[in-house]
């Protein structure tokens, strides 16, 4: 069973399995009714979904809106999971229960089409069938309701028997040309013909296979090229990322360029499908002229963006390399809302276009459309982030502690700021600066103690190193206060010298220290040789830290 996309619905499904039997039956009926009415192109509050299923309003529901497509998926999972706990026999229900085979026979479609219908909102329950096996089934009323809403899609899917003899002959002729002339594989043959004739690839595959069975001497598919193996796909992707041309890869593999092109297209499709995206929905997005209206709103707010002298004033004690942040004017409330409106619109368009994507018939222009929406959303996000970078600096300076790096704090804050942009709901009437400030304070409350602990640990390691090595090298100790400086200096040593120092002073991942005797035994050296390596390494560190290496008369106490 697939995983839930929304954790709250996952938890709800587990809770419903403990409800009384009759309550579960009623909740399943309510969940199926809701699933039929969901629009995948819209977004819904979680409170509404939970109330429709259980009849109760949750006390602490998330305020975010969730896309209808994600809710469709998770409601289908919930129905299947909860129905499995009922242990219902298909023959015990008042209305007929159809198996997957029954539905495929009734509508003359494949089981793969049934799975596609389930993703689009056909509710499926789990029943115990007369043969004693537990399988997925569909209530007749649910199937009829789904078909009434999706008549066109059902008719298009059930088009195997609607292919005329003339069209069937054309399909066979095209398949032969592609197999003999282009050397295409089975998948590429069916995909090309399906796109040309506006048919399902499964329909094309079925017709050609049937022809091959009836005419073995003229069979098409046995002469076609074998499908590209997973090893070949990995080779193509690796070489193309390194800059290899498609035609050169095709010649090297003795395949048509279209096969190589299809592998690259499928890889990009898979990357875009795995891209996690979440948007805050708005009623404006569902209007036909939404883009023009949003662009007009944003353009109107760009008028008179000149920042005031007060906004551009740089704090006196701010480092020069951070002063450039104050050249970007702050966002007015209206412009801030317009940018967030545009930001979420492009994410909504990406999610909608990706939902319509058919992996079998994907073209380059389809992926370019998806990538364009991602690029537009990223551009708007960067504008919002740049206008609020000074906020990160301001909050970071308030959390700065001795021994900590301001730039490290700002780097952590920038990550928090970008996450805040993704989750900010501009409909609630708050300013983003308020929301981001709270997010930054919460993030620094977690990260600052960790940084302080790491800083103290690093300083402690260096103190041990300098104190045990030579008590007169206080300047060197000052130079090695920070952990990154220790690593930088240690990188000047040979592998054996780093091993000896790290083990003797406990500077590695294992804080335990080793004596010269233990190191000599582990490294296969004499104790005197280990001592000599130790002194040589310390001299190198002192020289690297800017200390004049005088002849050392002090002797390090042997462990």
Give the tokens for residue 46. Answer: 């979680």
Give the tokens for residue 244. Answer: 């290899």
> What pLDDT is recorded for position 337?
92
CA proximity to 504, closest of 542, 459, 469: 469
Cα-Cα-Cα-Cα dihedral of 145, 31, 137, 112, to 10°?
A: 70
Q: How far apart are alpha carbons 331 and 433 in whole angstroms?
A: 10
In sequence order, which residues have a C-beta less than 8 Å from that of residue 223 and are 6 or more positions away?
A: 179, 180
3-state secondary structure 176-201: HHHHHHHCCEHHHHHHHHHHHHCCCH
> What pLDDT is recorded for position 384?
94
> What pLDDT is recorded for position 95?
84
DSSP run (H or E) holding 137: strand 134-139
Q: How many residues does the chain have?
A: 559
> What pLDDT is recorded for position 347?
93
| DSSP-derived 3-state class of residue 5 | coil
| Distance from chain centroid for Cα 444 | 25
> What pLDDT is recorded for position 558?
35
Give the tokens for residue 278. Answer: 């979440």
> What pLDDT is recorded for position 63?
66
3-state secondary structure 354-416: HHCCCHHHCCHHHHHHHHHHHHHHHHHHHHHHHHCHHHHHHHHHHCCCCCCCHHHHHHHHHHH
In this structure, what DSSP letter does residue 225 have? Answer: B
Q: How far apart are alpha carbons 484 and 408 in whole angstroms?
A: 12
Reported pTM: 0.50
> What pLDDT is recorded for position 461?
58
How far is the CA of 383 from the CAs of 144, 306, 437, in angstroms? Answer: 49, 15, 18
Q: Looking at 108-200, list the stretches that DSSP marks H as alpha helix, in order from N- to C-terminal side.
A: 111-119, 140-149, 151-157, 165-177, 186-197
Chunked into runs of 10 residues, the chain (559 residues) has average pLDDT values of 77 90 92 91 87 84 77 91 92 87 78 85 91 90 84 60 74 85 75 80 78 84 75 87 85 78 85 86 87 88 55 64 74 91 93 78 84 93 91 88 84 92 90 93 87 69 50 37 58 82 73 79 82 85 54 34
Concatenate the DSSP letters of all residues of 439-470 into one string. Answer: HHHHHHHHHHHHHHHHHHHHHHHHHHHHHHH-
CB atoms under 10 Å from CB of 129, counted, come to 15
């Amino acid at each position: 069973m697939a995983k839930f996309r929304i954790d709250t619905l996952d938890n709800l499904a587990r809770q419903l399995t403990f409800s009384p039997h009759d309550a579960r039956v009623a909740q399943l009926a309510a969940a199926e009714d809701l699933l039929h009415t969901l629009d995948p192109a819209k977004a819904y509050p979680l409170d509404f979904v939970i109330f429709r299923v259980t009849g109760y309003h949750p006390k602490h529901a998330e305020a975010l809106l969730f896309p209808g497509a994600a809710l469709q998926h998770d409601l289908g999972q919930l129905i299947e999971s909860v129905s499995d706990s009922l242990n219902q026999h298909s023959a015990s229900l008042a209305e007929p229960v159809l198996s997957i085979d029954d539905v495929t026979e009734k509508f003359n479609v494949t089981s793969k089409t049934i799975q596609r219908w389930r993703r689009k909102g056909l509710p499926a329950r789990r029943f115990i069938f007369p043969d004693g096996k537990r399988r997925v089934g569909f209530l007749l009323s649910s199937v009829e309701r789904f078909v009434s809403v999706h008549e066109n899609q059902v008719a298009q899917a059930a088009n195997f028997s609607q292919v005329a003899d003339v069209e069937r002959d054309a399909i066979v002729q095209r398949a032969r040309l592609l197999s003999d002339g282009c050397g295409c594989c089975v998948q590429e043959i069916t995909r090309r013909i399906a796109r040309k004739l506006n048919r399902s690839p499964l329909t094309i595959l079925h017709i050609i296979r049937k022809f091959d069975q009836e005419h073995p001497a003229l069979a098409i598919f046995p002469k076609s090229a074998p499908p590209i193996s997973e090893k070949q796909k990995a080779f193509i992707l690796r070489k193309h990322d390194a800059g290899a041309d498609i035609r050169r890869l095709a010649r090297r593999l003795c395949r048509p360029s279209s096969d190589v092109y299809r592998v690259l297209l499928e890889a990009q499709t898979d990357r875009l499908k795995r891209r996690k995206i979440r948007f805050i929905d708005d009623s404006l997005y569902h209007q036909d002229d939404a883009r023009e209206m949003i662009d007009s709103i944003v353009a109107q707010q760009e008028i008179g963006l000149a920042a005031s002298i007060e906004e551009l004033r740089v704090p006196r004690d701010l480092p020069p390399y951070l002063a450039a942040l104050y050249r970007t004017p702050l966002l007015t409330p209206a412009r801030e809302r317009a940018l967030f409106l545009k930001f979420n619109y492009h994410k909504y368009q990406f999610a909608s276009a990706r939902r319509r994507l058919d992996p079998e018939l994907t073209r380059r222009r389809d992926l370019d459309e998806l990538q364009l929406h991602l690029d537009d959303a990223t551009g708007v996000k960067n504008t919002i982030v740049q206008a609020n970078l000074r906020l990160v600096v301001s909050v970071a300076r308030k959390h700065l502690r001795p021994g900590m790096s301001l730039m490290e704090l700002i780097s952590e804050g920038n990550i928090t700021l970008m996450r805040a942009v993704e989750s900010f709901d501009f409909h609630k009437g708050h300013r983003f600066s308020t929301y981001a400030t709270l997010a930054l304070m919460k993030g620094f409350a977690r990260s600052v103690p960790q940084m302080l602990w790491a800083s103290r640990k690093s300083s402690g390691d260096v103190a041990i190193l300098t104190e045990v090595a030579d008590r007169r090298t206080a300047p060197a100790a000052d130079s090695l206060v920070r952990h990154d400086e220790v690593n930088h200096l240690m990188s000047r040593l040979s592998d054996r010298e780093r091993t000896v120092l790290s083990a003797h002073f406990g500077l590695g991942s294992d804080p335990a220290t080793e004596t010269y005797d233990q190191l000599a035994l582990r490294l296969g050296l004499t104790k005197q040789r280990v001592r000599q390596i130790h002194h040589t390494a310390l001299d190198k560190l002192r020289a690297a830290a800017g200390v004049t290496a005088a002849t050392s008369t002090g002797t390090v106490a042997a462990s």
